[in-house]
Amino acid sequence: MKSILLVEDHADIRRLIRMTLEFEGVQIVEAADAQQGWDLAREQAPDLVLLDVMMPGPMNGLDLCRALKAHPQLREVPVIMLSACDAPGDAERGLAAGAWRYLVKPFSPMQLLDLLHDLVPA
């Protein structure tokens, strides 16, 4: 079974994403902040990471993405950044940090499912 690590500080958004993905036959592991996401990524070695950009604490999503890409066992794990940040340069910063895709909130469930199918084949 494929596993997805969802790192998002808003419980409502985590729930909506989980509801979107739960029929896809994947295991979803959730983290409420980047530090918890970092710990879970190293423990679980997920097949995909869905990562919010703006989160409380000393580490944000860009920091976590860079850490994942620097880790020998996690550098090839696809990361999709999920963000409300849509100012000029925001997507470029996410991609420069190592994200494979950058989705701006609100995004459609179909967009997320299409990316899931593209990045984590069954």
The domains of the chain are located at 2-119
- CATH fold group of domain 2-119: Rossmann fold (3.40.50)
Mean pLDDT computed over every residue of the chain: 94
Sheet holding 101-104, edge to edge: 26-31, 2-7, 48-52, 79-83, 101-104
Instruction: Please report which confidence band the pLDDT of residue 122 belongs to, taking 50, 70 and 90 as the band edges.
Output: low
Per-residue pLDDT tens digits for 71-104:
999 999 999 999 998 888 999 999 999 999 999 9
Average pLDDT of the segment spanning 46-70: 96
**CA-CA distance, 31 to 57, in Å (whole number)?**
13
User: Other C-beta atoms within 10 Å of 39: how many?
Assistant: 11
**CA-CA distance, 4 to 28, in Å (whole number)?**
5
List Cβ neighbours of 34 (8 Å cut-off, separation of 6 or more). Answer: 7, 55, 57, 59, 60, 61, 63, 64
Residue 47 has pLDDT above 80, yes or no: yes
Per-residue pLDDT tens digits for 11-36:
999 999 999 998 888 999 999 999 99
